[in-house]
Structure 1
Amino acid sequence: MSTQAGLFSLDDLTEDDAGTRPGFRLHRLELLNWGTFNKSVRTFRLDGENSLLTGDIGSGKSTVVDAITTLLLPANKIEYNKAAGAQKKERSLMSYVRGFHKSARSGIGDTSRPVALRGPGSFSVVLGVFHNAALEKTVTLAITLWATQEAGQPTRFYSIAEGEQSIKSGFSDFGTDMAKLKRRLRNDGVAVFDVFEKYAAAFKRHFGIGSAQAMDLFHRTVSMKQVENITHFVRTNMLEEDDVDTRIKNLLHHFDDLKKAHDAVLRAKDQIRMLEPVRDNAARHQALTTDYKHAHVQREQLSPWFTTKKLELSEAHLQELERAAVRVAAEQNALTAEVGGLTRELADLRDDIRNSGGGRIAAIDGELARLAIESGAQRERYKSYSEAATVLGLFEPEDQVVFDANAAALPGVEKHLGEANTQLQGQRTALDRLRSEASEQAGDHKSELKSLLNRQNLLPGWLVALRQKLCAGTGIAESELPFAGELLRVRESEAAWEGAAERTLHGFALSLLVTDVHYPAVSDWVDSHNLRARLVYLKVGANPTPRHAAANTLAGKIGIKPGTSFREFLLDELGRRFDHQCCETMADFRRYPKALTINGQLKGGGRHEKDDRKELTDRSSYVLGWDNHDKIARLRSALEEAEGRLRTATDGLGRIDSQLGNLGRQQRLIGTVTAVASFASLDWHATARTMADLAQEKTALESSSDILRELTERETATNTRLAKANDKLSALERRIGSHEAESKALAEQIADCRDLLAQAPLTDDAGLLAGLGTLARAALESEELTYKNTAKIESKVREKLQAALDALQLRAGRAAETTIRFMTDFRNKYPAESTELDATLEAAGEFNTILQQLVDNDLPRFAAKFKESLTQNTIHEIVAFNAFLDSRRQDIVSRIGEINESLARIEYNPGRHIQLEPQATSDAEVREFGSELRACSEGTIGAAEQYSEQKFLQVEALVERFRGRPGLTNLDERWTAKVTDVRNWFTFSASEKWTETGEEHEHFTDSGGKSGGQKEKLAYTILAAALAFQFGIAAGPANQRSFRFVVIDEAFGRGSDESAKYGLELFKRLKLQLLIVTPLQKIHVIEPFVANVGFVANESGDDSQLRNMTIHEYRAERDRRGS
């Protein structure tokens, strides 16, 4: 049978039908002081039947609907007058209680205000009587509201009576005492509630509503026109929201325990990490200290050890000397005898020579020897004198006359040299000053250029460097501490005044601007550092009041850098401190109390100033502005000029130093000349002539006698032999003397060694002296140790030992410092564990005890506890959570199956019905959550569970999102609500299938692309299934306890006749009571399917009336009026 063929009309609703209507249905609705239903009680009688509520637009139909929703839903969920298309907050609970019905203005230009029918102190009641014919039970719901003030929310309470009540009988004759009304109701057995939640729980029990979503669906049904998105509708209206908060809290609780256990492991590991360096460095310090003690012992035994070696070597050498002394004594006796014989022989020969004329020759030989020495000295003096005289401009001393002339000229030469030296020294001093000035200027220019190239301002480099130090010390960005000059410049139109402005504003431009935020840090840093310079900084308040500069003042000629946050402050400072009138003439200058000339003369408070120490046009000293290209160019030019002057001064100094060097040499040569007292000391020519005369005389004597020649030759030979014998004897005597001295010294040295060893004997504790032998051999290199070099080798070994001691002491000191630093770090980080420990080397053993306790006991215990908490608590909780969510997933699949059973009994089109089809969502966050949840629990049940930091990190990442990460709390809350709501794991679509074969006819995820009638039809079908499911009426006996009342506001009236008939038939099959709200012009579509009509009228706009008629009465009256 087609759906159209099976439509029901009023005639179908027989007495038998009425007797079988199951569930609680609305029989009567009463309103008192609700909206424009004012003063008296208005009653709408439905008698459990499908009813129509109609009337003109604005008559109060939506007011009735909102009364019903207020009775069944919390006010915070209701969007009042939504079905009529009202804007949100257009109506409220207070607007209904006060009876706001229009807006009016109290006067011209006033804002319009709502006009109320009732003032504070009145009360309103909405009452609904629900009856279950099958169970023969009646339940009355009521809400009583009253306003205590003009605005806000009205005060209210709720009541439930098991039986029939009315406003007249139950809510009148109590005055304004609401407490009295409550007591009376309670005395009558009525349940009274102050909060909606308890009231709702009670009436849901009465009506058999088990689903938390049932009333939400009831509310949505009021204004639902079509199902735009099937997934959203199914999730919202057919599937219950799960309470996962408790499970997540349990998981967080277990994770907190796990986190504590994990933190204990990490804490123990960290303590071990910090204590191991304490142990290692303390052990290193101990080893180095031991090595130092050993080396110190070796150094203390160094002197006795080398003294012993020196004693042994000295005694051995003394014995050798004693044996040599015997041999040398015999040799000495023989040489003494030989010398005596030769001496006698030579004396005899000389007697014979004298007797033969040899005396004069001997005298000549003596004189010639003396004159040869004298002649050599004279030649050297003559050479030196002649060279000095030539350099000084004098003559070579050829004779006494020239010598005397040179002596007379010498004072003049000396005076001339002195004067020249004085002149050159003066020139050098001047050039040296010029060079220093040029060098200093070039250095300053280079430094300034280097600084300017790295910035844009014109400030002096030293001042920028000072700010950099300040910012580095305080951590403040340089951009937040500008100098005033960086933010100011002379306007281009006022370029002629630039020099005067620069000079006047120079001090202010070099002032640092410091905001209130940075003032404490800057003032502290400046006070605690020696700046070695002058710094001025100005405190900038939070809200300075800018001053606008007057025309033709200095302040008015200054521009401020765009975008700076210091603009208001700078305007204030400029306007207050630099409001000098810029005067073109001196007459104007004298006229104004604060004035400035273009040449830089400044006047203020009677004080006049003009500072011309620097040229007004010297742009290299300008500091205003944020573009330094011009200053860089000028500094480069100034640098080139300074470097040119530096080169000129350096070259001049080089020439003068060369001249001064020559003068110095000449002055020294004057001393060479004056040192010669007489010409005779230079006259080597005369001495040479005398020597020639004597040589001639000797030759004549020698050639006069052959006997004399023979005797002379024998004398020469004997004299040679004697000289050799004397040389040998002298050498032998020296040797003997040396041996004697050495023997004596050795004897004394041996005695000293013995005395030293007696005072500091050699000891060999712990076998450390073997090392001294090794050190000594290393110091000897290729030498051999003797009694003479023991001191030298001892010094080398001592140096090496001292170096080793110094190195060991340094290393031990560093090890001690490192140990104490690590101890201090541990005590600072873990004060509770180290309260009784000092950061000293003596406490190293106690620190090591803590370390051993951690390694041997604490860490294994913490790790075991962590493993137990991870695997037996947290992971199990996650597994249980996962299992719960999976069971909910299965419940949803089952729930959709149950809904599909209801849908299968509804013929959607001839021979076809609708089925909902769930699919796993493709949402990335939901799918990733499922993967992360499985990853946390995989490999944990039944496995040989090992400590797993990775597993902990997986769990932590998930749990911290449940908890809400810092800065991401809102995002994580939304994520948690989304991914743990199993409804979001599915998307839903509808499939229209052939009932006989189960084949799919059409598949759709929403009603897009459908005609208006098709959209409405799909909406009614899914809505009916949802209502059947949520109200628990999908199956079961007709007399079951269930809620069967549904309000549909204007939906049927706006749809097609065919879809409306389909919907009404569908709701009839489900045995639902419909209250259909529609305007008058739509009644003809609905009236065949209703039994009662409520007609709302509001002709005056402030007093809505409600008239009750049966459908028969309505038709009869309509026919009378039409005839």
Structure 2
Amino acid sequence: MGTVSSAKGVGAGAVQSATAGQHRLARIQVYNWGTFGGHHDLPVPRSGLLLTGPSGSGKSSLLDALSAVLVPAKHLRFNAAAQDAGTNDRSRTVLSYVRGAYRRVTQETTGEVVTDYLRPGATRSGIALTFTRLHPADTLTLLKLYHVRSGADSASQVEILVEGQQDLVELVGMIREGVDKRRLRQHLGDRARFFQGYSSFAAAFRRRLGLSGEVAQRLLHRTQAAKSLTSLDTLLRDFMLDTPSTFSLADDAVEQFAELRDAHAAVVDARRQEEILAPLLPLSRTISRAQQDQELSEKLSQSVDAYVRRLRRDRLEQTRDRARAAVTALDGEVQSAKRAEDRARAEVQDLTTARAGVAGSELPVVQARLESARKDLARVEDQLRNLAGHLGVLGTEPPQTAAAFAELADQLDREARELRVQLESFEAEAHAVMRDKLELADQLKALRTEAERITSTRSAMAPDLLDAREVISRATGQPASVLPFVGEILTIVEGQETWRVAVEAVASGFARTMLVPERLYRQVADAVDVQRLGTRLSYLRVLPGGEARSVSPDALARKLRPVEGTDYAQWLDTEILRRFDHRCVEDAAALAGVERGVTRAGQVKSSRTAHLKDDRRDLTNPRFWTIGVDAAQRLDQVSQEVDRLRRREREVNARLEDLTRRTHRMQERRDACLRAAESTWEEVDVTTASGVVADLEARCARLTQDLPGLVELDTRLEAARVAEEQARERHISLQANLEHQRSRLEETTKELERLAVEDEPDLDETLSEDLDKRFRSRKRHPTLDEIGQVATSVTRELSQERQRSLRQENEALRDAVSIMVRFGEQWPAAGADVRPEPAYLDDHLKVLKDLRADDLPRHERRFSELLQSQSSQNIGQLASEIRRAVSQVRTRIGPVNDALQDTEYSPGHHLRIEVSERRLPVVADFLADLATISTGSLDLADETQQEAEARFELLNAVMTRLASSEQRDLTWRNQCLDTRLHVSFTAVERDEHGTAVDYYEGAGGLSGGQRQKLVVFCLAAALRYQLTEAGDPVPGYALVVLDEAFDKTDTEFTRAGLDVFSGFGFQLLLATPMKMLQTLEEHVGGAAMVTNDAEGRCSQLSLVLFENTEDTESAGGAEHVDDVEKEGAVAGADVVVATDPRGADKTAASASGTHEDNEENLFSVLTDEEGSL
């Protein structure tokens, strides 16, 4: 490739000194990239390069090579300038470039359109971009090497930074068999750095070349397709402004909030623990008080005997003293009464002697007979009264004649026999009723026990099973709730209750089975083996897995379901489907037609031959149900049964009382019959006895009338006898009283002597006072005979009090155990050292005490401190960043506007970017929430717990949404945190007086040229904003690529757009399809023509360098490279040194020729006399 002379003159302007410190592109090398087969080396002048050529020649392929190195893969869009709609050209990929895709063809066999590749087998490719800085001198080469195996659909690659110049062709020869990093490192030595991925590679070259970040990379890549930009807001927001720090602040806040959430959870957890355990304190007091009451009642009961002994001794002493005094007093009275009786008896004897002397011998005999007859009459009258009493019971009167008496005797005998038979019948019935009463008492006692057990265990299972489980629970140290019976967690499907009898007939045995989790199997098995359970227990080891069987819709399994919330739901579903595939049928006729089934009445068919019906239990009675009966239902059933039995007990008692009354009446009649039958007619014949007395009295009267003075003597004798009887009775009475008092004195003395020799137990005075009150409340001064009855009453009362206290203790213990069980289930770790047993009540109370004294206050302090720090720091800083975003953008946009002031947008007019705040309602709400959260932290000392909780809930809601991955929350998060959305940009065109003459928010309504001009100015402003550090006149990274950016503008618009880029200090790499060449070449240091053969298989480069000291230095290394590869020629660029058209010759050409003439001048340099390249 030779050097061709150019007719253009040399005239390069002096490079500004500030650009010497810029990193500018100096060299592009590609190897096997698209249709550029082999090695191509393109020097790039520091003042820029114009890349031109026919459409489809490969210009965009070169630009895509730059993008492949400078743009992250996630933002990379090949052939960007051709995509006005903003979509990616999916046909262009790194792999398509490495393999050399160049056309689409139709397969002859299938007719399918496929891509044709220049390098379909194993191949390699490479890109090298060399950047230089003049002051201080610095050269850096960015390399990407690719290797694709034959048939592979992806390329292996490596990214390298090399200090200084590096020929690409040296390295591609080392990756013929694949990317060998070790060999490359050995070849390049210390001046090369290798990277594991693109992100670290990009971070390294951004630091070296002065790129601010990934946003700058995206903006530079977007600039390449400048003509497709339409929205000013989109351009400046997405490609000028960096991702705001609010996102990282929010992420930090969310991450740190986890600690606050944990602290809050700890507070809530501690509060919940305190709330659950708090009732233990009053329950503990109740238990303690009940135990004290029981202890007091027990002590009082034990002290009753001692108190009674003391009370009895006191009463005995009092009785002894009274008896001693009475004996002393009565002794004299008895002697006096005896003397009075002797005097009265002597008087009677004297009068009797005197009367005998007067009466003679006959009268005394008659009188003696009369006295005897009177005695007989009195005896008959007594006997008759007794008979009348007995006959009164029988409802009749004594007979008046002997015949009537004989008939009465026969009646009495018959009735006595009848009554004896009836009494025997009543006695038998009474025994039966008494048995019923005792059985009812036993049943009621069992029901009360069952009710207490249901209340304490909250289970409706049989008591013997609950006792067995309790034994196992104590032995294993596990709460009973982790060992459920199937019946406790299984229920009947709603609407299927009519099949209850069938369900119970088939599944009641399964319902009585205890379930054992796999983790507890060994412990339970050991406990069952060692302990005596007192009943038959069946348990199942619950193993995971098992496949559910398919059963018919009318299967019994379809009528059962697990209780909601049980941990065994899935296992139970599988098990009931496996066990209970019995078909539910109405009657025995339907049962004959199924393999396994059950009738509504409860007859079970388990195979073709085996049938069973168990009527030992009435399955219609809810008391015998085992499935789906909770504790409240069973307790209600027990209460109903208790009420029923109590009604029956009242009936039995009434019947027993009735039998007792009737028996008593019959016994009275029987006894009356028997007693009346004992009398004879002679014993009750009052008439005959009265006649004898009357006769003797008449005879005595006749004899007395015949004896003078006898009447007077009789009168005196009768009075003397009365006086004697009175004296005798008084003597006898006093003597009896004396003997009684002597007996009492003797008895009390002996009793006191006996008590004196016995050991008297000590009696606490407090207990004595209590017992004294109890005894006095019943009998203020009980006698010796009453002491026993009062003591029995007091003992009964103490027993009742002890039982009442015991019930209170049991109820409180049951409630306390229930609380301890709940605590252990909800906080296994906290309850690891304690058990849900009464013995561990004090340990649970200590946990409660520690919670109140230390844990809860400590958690609340930590929560309060974290809430304050996160509210004032994270939330306050986040809110501040959001509020300051607009002012920060305005501050940063100032230097951009100053730079735009240096270039006219149109004659006499300049463009200015103005920033306005775009406050969304959702952002205002978000900031209001942040203000509420952070403001509360200022008043922490006065903040109540409820206020802190409310502030935390608001903070939790905000943090939850910020951390959420739901699309709605992500949208909300982006709207709140992306402060780029909080601003809008307007390009204002102002005249020399600063008056706004036009406003631009986008490209709408503009012509194609106006749109491109606006976009170019705004892009330049955005690049200036992104790439230039504050205070620097020019950016540290200078390269800007524009692909067909001015295809719709005229010369003036194009020149103004390029002037603004030049004014901002950018190095331009311009690509255009043979248009506006002269205007474009004024802003570059050289031009390259890209051509391709007729089939589009081989792209070539020709280069014109405009003579310029700076550019010549940068391009001096360009030369042809000999072919070293089999798959195609390796070529550099054909180089032509031309007179810079920006000198006097250009001016003359411009003055004498048209724009098309000027384009032809440059094109002629790149072609020969015949028009060939």
* TM-score class, shorter: 0.5 to 0.7
Distance 1:104 1:776, change over 3 A: farther
Aligned-pair distance for 1:340? 1.4
Distance 1:1063 1:983, change over 3 A: same
Aligned-pair distance for 1:574? 12
| 1:695-714 CA distance string (max 9 Å, x none) | 54255346534577655554
In structure 2, the partner of 1:639 is none
Aligned-pair distance for 1:1084? 12
In structure 2, the partner of 1:51 is 50
SS at match of 1:144: strand
Higher mean C-alpha deviation, range 946-955 or range 1026-1035: 946-955
From 996, 1015, 1021, the equivalent of 1:1019 is: 1015
Distance 1:306 1:190, change over 3 A: closer
Distance 1:675 1:788, change over 3 A: closer
In structure 2, the partner of 1:898 is 895
From 702, 719, 722, the equivalent of 1:720 is: 722
In structure 1, the partner of 2:124 is 123
Aligned partners of 1:296 and 1:805 also within 8 Å: no
Aligned-pair distance for 1:345? 2.9
Distance 1:310 1:690, change over 3 A: closer
From 357, 361, 364, the equivalent of 2:370 is: 361
In structure 2, the partner of 1:987 is 983
Distance 1:718 1:1015, change over 3 A: farther
| 1:572-602 CA distance string (max 9 Å, x none) | 989999999xx999xx99xx999999xx999
CA distance, structure 2, for counterparts of residue 733 and residue 298 of structure 1: 44
In structure 1, the partner of 2:330 is 328
In structure 2, the partner of 1:448 is none
Matched, 1:1067 2:1069: no
Aligned-pair distance for 1:1009? 7.3
In structure 2, the partner of 1:371 is 380
Q: For residue 913 of structure 2, what is the amino acid of its counterpart?
A: Q
Q: For residue 931 of structure 1, what is the amino acid of its counterpart?
A: A
| 1:752-789 CA distance string (max 9 Å, x none) | 45545xx55979xxxx7478457636743597669959
CA distance, structure 2, for counterparts of residue 820 and residue 619 of structure 1: 36
Aligned-pair distance for 1:35? 2.8
CA distance, structure 2, for counterparts of residue 545 and residue 1058 of structure 1: 85
Q: For residue 732 of structure 2, what is the amino acid of its counterpart?
A: S
| 1:26-73 CA distance string (max 9 Å, x none) | 45533221234334537597774452555446x655433321111222
In structure 2, the partner of 1:73 is 71
Q: For residue 78 of structure 1, what is the amino acid of its counterpart?
A: L
Give the count of matched residue pairs: 995
Distance 1:13 1:103, change over 3 A: same
CA distance, structure 2, for counterparts of residue 925 and residue 288 of structure 1: 59
Aligned partners of 2:304 and 2:795 also within 8 Å: no
Matched, 1:223 2:257: no
Which residues in structure 2 correspond to 1:956-971 (within 5 Å)?
968=964
Aligned-pair distance for 1:125? 1.6
Distance 1:130 1:507, change over 3 A: same
Matched, 1:927 2:927: yes
SS at match of 1:1047: strand
Q: For residue 124 of structure 1, what is the amino acid of its counterpart?
A: S
CA distance, structure 1, for counterparts of residue 371 and residue 1039 of structure 2: 170
CA distance, structure 1, for counterparts of residue 109 and residue 571 of structure 2: 46
Aligned partners of 2:103 and 2:116 also within 8 Å: yes
SS at match of 2:984: strand
Distance 1:125 1:572, change over 3 A: same
Distance 1:384 1:1098, change over 3 A: farther
Which residues in structure 2 correspond to 1:904-943 (within 5 Å)?
904-908=901-905, 911=909, 913-919=911-917, 921-922=919-920, 923-924=923-924, 927-928=927-928, 930-931=930-931, 934-935=934-935, 938=938
In structure 2, the partner of 1:748 is 750
In structure 1, the partner of 2:446 is none
Q: For residue 219 of structure 1, what is the amino acid of its counterpart?
A: H
CA distance, structure 2, for counterparts of residue 88 and residue 181 of structure 1: 33
In structure 2, the partner of 1:1045 is 1039
Aligned partners of 1:32 and 1:41 also within 8 Å: yes
In structure 2, the partner of 1:7 is none
Higher mean C-alpha deviation, range 984-993 or range 959-968: 959-968
CA distance, structure 2, for counterparts of residue 787 and residue 567 of structure 1: 72
Which residues in structure 2 correspond to 1:590-601 (within 5 Å)?
none
From 702, 713, 733, the equivalent of 1:731 is: 733
Aligned partners of 1:34 and 1:96 also within 8 Å: yes
In structure 1, the partner of 2:156 is 154
Aligned-pair distance for 1:1030? 2.1
CA distance, structure 2, for counterparts of residue 517 and residue 1121 of structure 1: 96
Aligned-pair distance for 1:811? 12
Which residues in structure 2 correspond to 1:674-713 (within 5 Å)?
675=674, 681=679, 687-694=685-692, 696-698=694-696, 700-701=698-699, 704=702, 705-706=704-705, 713=715
Aligned-pair distance for 1:346? 3.1
CA distance, structure 2, for counterparts of residue 216 and residue 997 of structure 1: 36
CA distance, structure 1, for counterparts of residue 856 and residue 579 of structure 2: 69
Aligned partners of 1:332 and 1:732 also within 8 Å: yes
Question: Unaligned stretches of 5+ in structure 2?
Answer: 1-6, 441-460, 471-479, 562-569, 623-651, 1106-1158
SS at match of 1:145: strand
In structure 2, the partner of 1:776 is 772
Percent identity between the aligned chains?
A: 17
CA distance, structure 1, for counterparts of residue 581 and residue 269 of structure 2: 62
In structure 1, the partner of 2:31 is 32
SS at match of 2:935: helix
Higher mean C-alpha deviation, range 561-570 or range 722-731: 561-570
In structure 1, the partner of 2:98 is 97
From 56, 62, 65, the equivalent of 1:64 is: 62
Aligned-pair distance for 1:362? 1.5
In structure 2, the partner of 1:631 is none
Aligned-pair distance for 1:372? 1.1
Higher mean C-alpha deviation, range 1111-1120 or range 216-225: 1111-1120
| 1:968-1010 CA distance string (max 9 Å, x none) | 5889996998699684584233262645555666667666677
CA distance, structure 2, for counterparts of residue 274 and residue 993 of structure 1: 73
CA distance, structure 2, for counterparts of residue 769 and residue 560 of structure 1: 71
SS at match of 2:144: strand
Which residues in structure 2 correspond to 1:617-628 (within 5 Å)?
none
SS at match of 2:913: strand
Aligned-pair distance for 1:1031? 2.7
CA distance, structure 1, for counterparts of residue 192 and residue 746 of structure 2: 139
CA distance, structure 1, for counterparts of residue 868 and residue 954 of structure 2: 16
CA distance, structure 2, for counterparts of residue 1098 and residue 1030 of structure 1: 41
In structure 1, the partner of 2:1024 is 1028
SS at match of 2:685: helix
Aligned partners of 1:1053 and 1:1086 also within 8 Å: no
| 1:783-833 CA distance string (max 9 Å, x none) | 766995996699599859978996999799999999999999999977999
Aligned partners of 1:265 and 1:863 also within 8 Å: yes
Aligned-pair distance for 1:934? 4.2
Aligned-pair distance for 1:217? 1.0
Which residues in structure 2 correspond to 1:578-617 (within 5 Å)?
none
CA distance, structure 1, for counterparts of residue 502 and residue 293 of structure 2: 71
CA distance, structure 1, for counterparts of residue 276 and residue 411 of structure 2: 92
Aligned-pair distance for 1:1027? 1.0
Distance 1:52 1:175, change over 3 A: closer
CA distance, structure 2, for counterparts of residue 795 and residue 1076 of structure 1: 123
CA distance, structure 1, for counterparts of residue 138 and residue 686 of structure 2: 170
Distance 1:800 1:15, change over 3 A: farther
| 1:384-417 CA distance string (max 9 Å, x none) | 678799xxxxxx9965886798799999999999
Aligned partners of 2:230 and 2:1004 also within 8 Å: yes
| 1:678-723 CA distance string (max 9 Å, x none) | 7x94759982442453354255346534577655554443333333
Aligned partners of 1:820 and 1:840 also within 8 Å: no
CA distance, structure 1, for counterparts of residue 305 and residue 503 of structure 2: 79
